[in-house]
Each structure stands twice: as C-alpha cells, then as structure tokens.
Structure 1
Amino acid sequence: MIKNNNKNIKNSLVIQIFFGLIFGIILAWFSKNYAMAIGVFGDLFVNILKSISPLLVLVLTITSVANYNEGQKNNIRKIVILYLLSTFSAVIIALISSHLIPQTLTLPSTNTTITTKPSNTLEILRTLLMSMVTNPIESLMKANYISILLWGISLGFAFRHSSNTTRSLLNDIAAAVTQLVHLIIKFAPIGICGLVASSLALTGFSVLQQYADLLSLLLGCMFLIALLFNPLIVWYILRCNPYPLVFTCLRESGMTAFFTRSSAANIPVNIILAKKLNLNPETYTVSIPIGANISMPGASITITVLTLAAIHTLGINLDLSTTILFSLIASLCACGASSIASGSLLLIPVICHVFGIPNEVAMQVVAIGFIISILQDSAETALNSSAAILFTAAVCMAEKRHKLNKNI
C-alpha cells in the first residue's frame, strides 16, 4: 500500500508540473504583469533549492561513504565496473553531443559574472585545490560544493569506524534531509509556473524552443546509451545478440522506472525480473541495490548537458585536458545523484563551482532542468534502472555459461 501511494504521489507530481508549465505559458501569453507578479514563486523555489542543496550534498556524502561495505565477491566487482563504465561513457557521449550541438540558455539573472576565469587546466586544478581546504561552515554558507564533497568524504571515512548506533543516526539524518527536499519538490509545480511565466514575460516565447532543443539533446544522448553503447558492452560480455536482453530490461524495468521516477522504488521490479531471468540470487540481491545508487548513465548525461549549456552561455572555453577533468567530476557527481527524485539537477552546482560559475546562475540552470524534468527525469531514471538489471543479467549469464563449458 505504501509503495502504491508513493507511485501515485510521484505520478501526480508529474501531472501537477505539467499543468504548472501550461498555466505559466498561458499567463505569460495573456498578461505580462501578472506573469511577472507570479514570478516571485519561481524565485522563492530557486532560493529554497539554493539553501538546501549544500546541506543535502554534505549529509548524503557522509552517509554513503560511512555505510559502504567492503569485501564483495568478484562478480559484484565486475558489475560495479560495468556500472561505472556506462556512467563515464555517458558523460563522454554527452560531451561530444554538446560540442556538436552546443546549447545556450536565456537566463533571467543579469549577474552572470564568472567568479574565476579558468584559462587552462592548471588554473582550474589550483582553484579546485584551494576550494577544497575551505572551512566547512563557510563552505556550507557559500555553497562551495567541492569543499563540501571533500569534508563529506573525510567525515564519511571517519564514521566508518563508528558504532552501528552512530551510523543509524547518520541514516536518520540523511532520511530527514531527503524528506525535507521531497517536501520542497512538492512545491515544484508552483515554482515552475512562476519561473516559466516570468521567463516568457521577460524573454518572449522563443525560450520555449531552447527548452525543446535542450530536451531533445538530453533524450538523444540517453537513447544512444540505451540502444547502442550498453548493448555493445553486453555483446562483449556474452558474445551474442544483446538486443533481446536489452529490450527485455527496457520493457520490464525501464517502463516502470519511467513512471515511478525512482531507481530505489524500482529495486523490487528489478529483483522480480532477475528471478524471471533465473539469475544468481547471491549476485542480484547485492548488485541491484548497489546499481540503484551508482548505475547512473542518465544522471551523468543530465549533469553534463546542463552544465555545458551554462558553460556555453557564459562563453567559457574548455581545452582537452580540462574536458577530461570535467568528465571525471561529472561521473563522480552522477554516482551521488540517486537519493531523491531529480537529484542529478541538484548536483549541477558542484561542477559549475569548479569553473567559476556563480551559484545563482547554476541554480537558474537547475530551475530550467525542473521545467523539462517531466520527460528528462523519467527517461533518466528509466535508463539508470534498466542498466542496473542489464549488466547484472549479462554478468550472471556469462558466469553461468562459463560454468557449463567448464563442466563439459
């Protein structure tokens, strides 16, 4: 009953966001004055997200590192490697696609001054290192995400030696912060209505084309990973036609995840599918929950494309070495995006901070992400969740085939 209620809540939120979007467009069409007035709700929504995001990143980082379990079997390691490979490859595909079809955004804010001007990789690395050693309280106050990540990882390792009671407390704190973010996101339809109405009133309806182009690029990259790159990995493992397994995972896992918009909520669906495929339970009972946290090719595409849109908008140039650094950071951020719906959007400021993009601009990009999240977040979750069961199935099937050949 609880799971069904959660699904209904998420589905109703999607419908509410859709109607908020439509109402914002209609309001901007008929009355610019009212559209500008209701824009205060959009500004309020963005400012609340700006306030809660640093705390969210810190708490989730500490909790995930503190609860990490070592000593998993070798086949689990293979599956985890495939998860990370798919996530990193998605970043590369998104990078290439964004350079071939660069996206720029019309941002309401006039404060688009770059706080640092990274001309080369060495300067970016220096900025990165200096940002890491900032006082943790100051980092939270100024939304210094790089420092927040470092302190979160450090505290997480320290808490790994703590008692079960302490780790349970950390989990409760993380759950409380996550619940607060869920509460904030429930007001997304009102915030998006205000954002769309005020944006259209200021910039005109040409901005809708920008959103459509951005969404098309995001979905195109996700289709490339789902239907080309992931099947290539499965073919390499099984040495047979991968598409029957790929389409099975997309149909039975991806379709459900598309509507629930939660990899965690889709864990039972993936476990049922693993049983139907007759996979090794000792493997899938471990790998599928792990996959719900680190199988994030869809999240990495979202983070990469939207951040590069901000970078292109501000005219920041990336050389090859800087692009490699960008890829690594984006992949790491994607693996931390799993705990809440639209979590990938809230990690965009992490990368933006490295390139000197003001937090105000970064959060405006996040707000645009929420506007297109009706399809973006659903497709992202479908890709993330279906990839988790796909690679688990591929490794289990390869292991079973190896045992059969060995017995023969």
Structure 2
Amino acid sequence: MTHSSHPLIRLYFKVGLIPQIFLGLILGIILAAVSKDYALSMSLLGGLFINALKSVAPILVLILVIASISNHQQGKRANMKTLLTLYFAGMMLAALLATVVSFVFPSEISFGETLMQSKLTPPNGISDVLKTLLDKMIDNPVNALVNANYIGLIIWGVGIGLALRHASETTKTMMNDLSYAISFIVRIIIRFAPLGVFGLVASTLAETGFGELLKYAHLLVVLVSCMLFVALIINPLLAYLVMRKNPYSLVFTSLKESAIPAFFTRSSAANIPVNMEICKKLKMDEDTYSVAVPLGAAINMSGAAITITVLTLATVNSMHIDVDIYSAVLLCIVTSVCACGASGIAGGSLLLIPVACSMFGIPNEISAKVIGIGIAIGVIQDSVETALNSSSDVVFIGAVSAATQKKQITTSNQ
C-alpha cells in the first residue's frame, strides 16, 4: 500500500508537520485530563520517539561536522573575516543574553521519578567542568559514538574533517552524501514527532500534573523574548558598529522579507534563495552575498545558541546543579560553537542540546527527554528561531556591504 492509495495516509502527508505536532500536543493534554491510566500507557510512544532521537543524534553530529569542514570552500573570501566576526559575536551575545535571562527567570522541566533518580555526579565548579570537557575530548572515537560523548565526537569530527580537506572530490562528495543520508533518517524520525509529542505530553501531564503546562509556557516565553531582543537590539547594535549609520531600515526590511518566510518554512537552508533575492534587490555587494548567504545559512545561528543555552540551563536548574559564573561563560562559548553545527532541518538545534548538557554530567537519557520537550514547544520556538537566524544573515551581510561601499566611495574621492 502506497501513501497515495489510502485517503487517511494521503491526508497525513498533505497536512504540514507543525499542525500535526500541535494536534498531538492538544490530544495529549485532553487524554491526560480524561484518563490518567490511558495517558500513562502512552509513555510507550514518547519513549520510542526519544530512543529514536538518542540513537541518531551521535552519528548525526559526527557526520555533519566532518562533511561541513571537509567541504569548506577555499578561495574567494569576500569580506569573510568581518562577517565571520559578526556571526560569532552575534551567537556569543545571544548565548550570554540567554544565560542572564535564565538566571533571572529560571525555568524548570519535570523528568519523572525514574530519570530524576538516575546516577548523576554534578560538577563542583569550573575546574570540574574543564576536567570533564578535557576527558571527553580525548575519548576513543568508537567509545564516544557508543556512549554518545558529543564533545569527543565533535573533536574527532573536526580532526577528520580537516584531514579530508586534502582528499579527492569523490571522497568529499561521499561525505556530503552520507551527511544527507543521516539527515534524511532524522527527517523520517521527525515525521513521527506528532505521535512522540502526543505520548510524551500525555504521560508527563498524567504523572506530574497540569502544572507542567505552565513550565512549558514559561520556557517558551523566555526563549521567544531572548530571540526578539537579539533581533531588535543586539543585531542592530552589531550592524551599527560596522556600517556606522542607523541600521533599523535594514533590520525591518530583513524581518519583513526574510524572517516571515523563514518562520513558516522553519529551514535556514530553504530560505537561501529568498535571502539571495533580498540582497540583490538591496544592491548589496554580489561577491559578498553570493558566498555569505549559503555560509550564514549553515553557521550563523543566534537562535540556535539561545535554544541550546536556555534548555540546557533549564535542565541544569531542574537537576539542582549549581553553575558558577565561569562555567556559565564556558557554556556560552561551547553553545556558540555548537550552534554553528546546527543542521539545516527543522528542530536541528535541539539535537545539539546533549553536547552542552554533557558539560554538567547530565546523562543522555535526560538530555534526550529535553529534546522531546523542545520539539513539543517547537511549534512556536523553532519557527521564531529560524526567522531570527535567517534575518540575521541579511542584516550582517547588508552592514558589511554598506561599510565596503562607503570605503570604496571614500577611496575614490581621495
């Protein structure tokens, strides 16, 4: 039976993923309210979904890092140094903002009695966090893959990726194909997110009560508020420092023409043609935007930095782990680097949460549950995140182009 031959299956594929996840969320709430016993039995669906995410996340991180570094294009560097500085500064400031807001308005997540009783040895301070990081960095690659040691996987991914930059084009193409194949498997798993969210929400609410909905709402408000602050305050400030003129005309244009399409597609990669057209219409430097738009869609991820930071600190807070200022700053750096590796698929940043959680000794079982919760609120969060990521590309490229054009005019007048 093909999906085109049955009306119900045809309807399933015709309706978008966001409405399906929203429906799963609503049905989960209703079931938890109507029958606690049936709702608890739905933990099987939520568990299967979380286990699927746990199984694919480590290999996804490793392959994406290898593929992106090995296929990095050398040659034309049209203003790349300034742009890369803006990209990283934007992500770092976004992570710092998310950290401060998370401390001022702390969020909590309920994991259930079983997970809360799991073995956990929280770090006592920055020295323990650094020791954990260093131990994970030098882990055996096979062991890192089996035990979902994301820090070790990233280090091995960077090393192998750098080595493969000198490999043949055939080998690089193979890595790209492998990256696509793993991403395709992730997309299949994400297609089952409505069922997973239904089971997760129903069983969680049945076990912890409806107070959990308030925690979800609080988490969502913190995430969206941080993203709006970055879009309207931090990005314009960074743009002004480069272009030295009022950036808000550029900012509002990018929000209107780039953020809105990205909000609905939930994919920075899918929004590349849109951003190309905006840059062309605004008469930006073609040598800059032709390289910078695809690059920004891959590595400029302020929204992802916020998501990873807020959800990690919500997990840390829920597990009653103390975080000192040095560990918080280190988290911002790790988060900014992780954000660069967020895959181009919807919800890609969520799959990197275990990397940040592992800094604090949080086991994979708990961080996988956080991914599931992130997908549940991703109906809004992921759309806003993608809108921020994509519009930031246009703002930063426009700022650099304006600065370049101003410099050229000044030079020609001398």
Residue by residue over 1:136-177, the C-alpha shift from the partner in whole angstroms, topping out at 9 and shown as x without a partner, is: 112111111111111111111111111000110111110000
Q: Alignment partner for residue 169 of structure 2, among 164, 173, 182? A: 164
Tell whether 2:205 aligns with 1:200: yes
Displacement after TM superposition at 1:109 (Å): 4.8
RMSD: 1.5
The size of the alignment, in residue pairs, is 401
1:232 has 2:228 as partner: no
Whether 1:334 aligns to 2:362 is no
Contact 2:78 2:288 in 1 (8 A): no
Q: Quick one: which of 348, 352, 360 aligns to 1:347?
A: 352
Find the counterpart in structure 2 of residue 39 from structure 1. 43
CA contact (8 A) 1:41 1:191 kept: yes
- Superposed CA deviations along residues 8-65 of structure 1, whole A, max 9, x for unmatched, are 9797000100111111111111111221122211110001000110010011011111
Give the Cα–Cα distance (whole angstroms) in 1 for the partners of residues 304 and 13 of structure 2: 22
The answer as to 2:256 corresponding to 1:266 is no
Compared CA separation, residues 209 and 54, structure 1 to 2 (3 A): same
One-letter amino acid matched to 1:232: L
Distance, in Å, in 2 between the alignment partners of 1:139 and 1:280 is 43
Whether 1:390 aligns to 2:395 is: yes
Per-residue displacement from partner, 1:347-406 (whole Å, max 9, x unpaired)? Answer: 000111121001111111111101100000000000000001110011111111221222
Q: Do 1:65 and 1:160's aligned partners in 2 also have CA atoms closer than 8 Å? A: yes
Amino acid in the other structure paired with 2:293? I
Contact kept, 8 Å, 1:294 with 1:338, in 2: the verdict is: no
Q: Could you tell me the percent identity over the aligned residues?
A: 47
* Partner Cα distance (1:16, 1:395) in 2: 40
Contact 2:263–2:384 (8 Å) recurs in 1? yes
1:80 lines up with 2:78 in the alignment: no
Q: Is the 8 A contact 1:62 1:156 kept in 2?
A: yes
Cα shift readout 1:56-102 (whole Å, capped 9, x = no counterpart): 00110111111122344251221121111101110000000001101
- 2:139 alignment counterpart: 134
Equivalent-residue separation in structure 2 for 1:188 and 1:74 (angstroms): 40
* TM-score, normalised by the number of residues in structure 1: 0.96
* 1:214 match: 219
Counterparts of 1:267 and 1:103 in 2: how far apart (Å)?
Answer: 34
**Structure 1 match to 2:192:** 187
CA deviation string 1:87-130 (max 9, x = no partner)? 11100000000011011111125233454331121222112111
Q: Does 1:297 align with 2:299?
A: no
> Which string of whole-angstrom CA distances, capped at 9 and with x for unpartnered residues, describes residues 192-233 of structure 1?
001011111111111000000000000000011000011111
Do 1:10 and 1:260's aligned partners in 2 also have CA atoms closer than 8 Å?
A: no
Q: What amino acid maps onto 2:25 in structure 1?
A: L
Q: 2:115 and 2:136 mapped to 1: Cα distance? A: 22
Is this contact kept in 2: 1:292–1:338, CA < 8 A? no
1:101 pairs with 2:105: yes
In structure 2, C-alpha distance between the alignment counterparts of 1:209 and 1:318, rounded to whole Å: 24
Q: 2:122–2:362: 8 Å Cα contact kept in structure 1?
A: no
Listed as ranges, the gaps of 5+ residues in structure 2 are 1-11
**Could you tell me how far apart the structure 2 residues matched to 1:115 and 1:167 are?**
40
* Alpha-carbon spacing, 1:317–1:241, altered in 2? closer, same or farther (3 Å): same
Per the normalisation by structure 2, the TM-score is 0.94
> Aligned partner of 1:179: which letter?
F
Q: Distance in 2 between matches of 1:347 and 1:395?
A: 30
Return closer, same or farther for 1:393/1:403 CA change in 2, 3 Å cut-off.
Answer: same
Contact in 2 for aligned 1:349/1:362 (Cα 8 Å): yes
Q: Is the 8 A contact 1:109 1:361 kept in 2?
A: no
SS in 2 for 1:347: helix
Task: State how far apart, in whole Å, the 1-side matches of 2:242 and 2:122 are.
Answer: 44
Q: Mind listing any 5+ residue stretches in structure 1 that lack a counterpart?
A: 1-7
**Distance in 1 between the 2:26 and 2:125 partners?**
43
Structure 2 residue identity aligned to 1:286? V
Mapped partners of 1:198, 1:254: distance in 2: 35
Give CA-to-partner distance per residue, 1:258-297, whole Å, 9 cap, x none.
0000000000000000111011111101000000011100
- Aligned partners of 2:13 and 2:151: how far apart in 1? 33
Aligned-partner SS, 2:112: coil
Q: Give, in whole Å, the separation in 2 of the partners of 1:123 and 1:17.
A: 39
Alignment of structure 1 residues 15-94 onto 2, 5 Å: 15-73=19-77, 75-94=79-98
Query: Structure 2 CA distance, aligned partners of 1:215 and 1:109?
Result: 24
CA contact (8 A) 1:267 1:288 kept: yes
